[in-house]
């Protein structure tokens, strides 16, 4: 079984940054990514809010630059999926598809994914009007009419944020009442830019090149109708990539890993960084910050136990 000082799980912005800091610290590390380096950034057409790129940057271009930074280093890279982590007294065992490896520290950077509606037009118009992230894409819809879909805290909170930017929001909710906290409900109901449409579900995103309208069905009347919108934000939940996670590692009620501000989990030697963490702001810049913090604290921990 191969042994490492640290294993970084996940090759998105958090994992790449963690690996970079560990390698610059001279550590013997392995880096595991199940698909391709880049994570969610590869799904992003243009990133407009990463410092240093005032004109925006294509997702794949940013990741090419991130990955190029690792090229000068020697380390073990595995294109594989972590299946399990066995917590040890001092060393932890990490299971890939077939092999096991052993490490004093592990930095979990496996990210998250937004839940999709699974309706026609959603994938085709993703990034062309259909979005899952207000902070990422809200600015593209300044002074335009958009729809937001969902009824939980995130849907209402993000709708309130978007209402500051856009001309009008149709907030589509499938039930008679919201399940979000009362404080958000009160604010949404009082906001003149937000029109709430209850008992309604989206049926199709329509548009040639970009989103032009949203087809909806009223569940009470069974009537289909259409809303002319240039943007539609789907806020029906974020799913952590945590299937491999042992139950000893504490998570919040949604399955995101709980850490302290130094990215330490409740288990010694196990750190988490980026979107997999229980936190409010899930962005590339926060993932990068988490990755650096986790790597730095992993090195401090390694010095303490040596
Ligand atoms: C469409 C879209 C647009 C966005 N736009 C912006 C934007 O404009 N600005 C911005 O700042 N943020 C944006 N974001 C959010 C941003 O991409 C994320 O916050 C960021 O990528 C999180 O980085 P991460 O490294 O924590 O996780 P991720 O990017 O999710 O990377 C996690 C990686 O871990 C890998 N992985 C998962 N499980 C395993 C496993 N078991 N074994 C091995 N590997 C595994 C995955 O394959 C993935 O590569 C956007 C996201 C999306 C989806």
> The domain that contains 213 carries what CATH number?
3.50.50.60
Alpha carbon distance, N-terminus to C-terminus of the chain = 21
Q: Is there a single domain that holds both residue 171 and residue 63?
A: no
Catalytic residues: 133, 136-137
CA of 174 to the centre of ligand 1 (A): 28
Does the beta carbon of 275 sit less than 6 angstroms from any atom of ligand 1?
A: yes
Report the atom number in ligand 1 closest to the C-alpha of 276. 26
Picking from 193, 211, 234, the residue at the C-terminal end of a domain is 234
Do residues 225 and 194 both lie within one domain?
yes
Residues 6+ apart with CB under 8 A from 14: 39, 109, 111, 273, 274, 275, 276, 287, 288, 290, 291, 294
Q: What is the Å distance from ligand 1's center to 12 Cα?
A: 5
CB distance 121 to ligand 1 below 6 Å: no
Show the low-confidence residues of the chain (pLDDT under 70): none
Q: Are residues 153 and 133 in the same domain?
A: yes
Asked which of 219, 234, 249 is the last residue of a domain, the reply is: 234
Is the same domain home to 101 and 171?
no
Provide the 10 A C-beta neighbour count for residue 195: 14
Q: How far does residue 218's CA lie from ligand 1's centre (Å)?
A: 34
- Taken as a whole, the chain contains a residue count of 306
Greatest Cα pair distance, the chain, in angstroms, is 69
Shared-domain flag, residues 23 and 62:
yes
Say how many domains are in the chain: 2
Structure tokens belonging to residue 10: 């996940």
- Domain co-membership, 144 together with 228: yes
Among 234, 266, 283, the domain-final residue is 234
Indicate whether 135 and 230 sit together in one domain. Answer: yes
Residue range of the domain that includes 55: 2-113+238-305
- The confidence score (pLDDT) of residue 196 equals 98
Are both 276 and 167 inside the same structural domain? no
Same domain, 130 and 176: yes
| Residue 130 Cβ < 6 Å to ligand 1 | no
105 and 123 in a single domain? The answer is no
Instruction: Name every residue whose Cβ is closer than 8 Å to that of residue 240 and which is 6 or more positions away in sequence.
Output: 110, 111, 112, 251, 254, 255, 256, 257, 275, 276
pLDDT of residue 46: 84
Which residue has a Cα nearest atom 37 of ligand 1? 110
How high is the pLDDT of residue 154? Answer: 86
**Shared-domain flag, residues 125 and 73:** no
Residues 186 and 197 in one domain: yes
């Amino acid at each position: 079984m191969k042994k490492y000082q640290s294993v970084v799980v996940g090759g998105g912005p958090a994992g790449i940054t963690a690996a970079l800091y560990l390698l610059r610290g001279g550590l013997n590390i392995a880096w595991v990514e199940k698909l391709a380096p880049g994570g969610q950034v590869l799904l992003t057409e243009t990133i407009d809010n990463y410092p240093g790129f005032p004109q925006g940057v294509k997702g794949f271009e940013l990741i090419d630059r991130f990955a190029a930074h690792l090229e000068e280093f020697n380390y073990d890279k595995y294109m594989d999926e972590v299946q399990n982590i066995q917590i040890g007294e001092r060393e932890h065992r990490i299971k890939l598809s077939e092999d096991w490896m052993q490490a004093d520290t592990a930095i979990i950077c496996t990210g998250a994914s937004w839940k999709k509606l699974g309706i026609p037009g959603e994938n085709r118009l993703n990034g062309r009007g259909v979005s899952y992230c207000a902070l990422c894409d809200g600015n593209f819809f300044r002074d335009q009419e958009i729809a937001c879909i969902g009824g939980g805290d995130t849907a209402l909170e993000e709708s309130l944020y978007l209402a500051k930017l856009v001309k009008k929001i149709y907030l589509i909710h499938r039930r008679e009442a919201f399940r979000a906290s009362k404080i958000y409900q009160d604010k949404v109901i009082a906001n003149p830019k937000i029109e709430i449409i209850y008992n309604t579900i989206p049926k199709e995103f329509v548009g040639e090149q970009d989103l032009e309208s949203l087809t909806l069905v009223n569940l009470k009347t069974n009537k289909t109708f259409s809303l002319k919108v240039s943007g539609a934000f789907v806020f029906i939940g974020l799913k952590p990539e945590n299937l491999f996670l042992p139950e000893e590692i504490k998570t919040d009620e949604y399955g995101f890993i709980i850490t302290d501000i130094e990215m330490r989990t409740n288990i010694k030697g196990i750190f988490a960084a980026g979107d997999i963490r229980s936190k409010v702001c899930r962005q590339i810049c926060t993932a990068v910050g988490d990755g650096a913090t986790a790597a730095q604290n992993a090195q401090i921990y390694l010095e303490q136990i040596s």
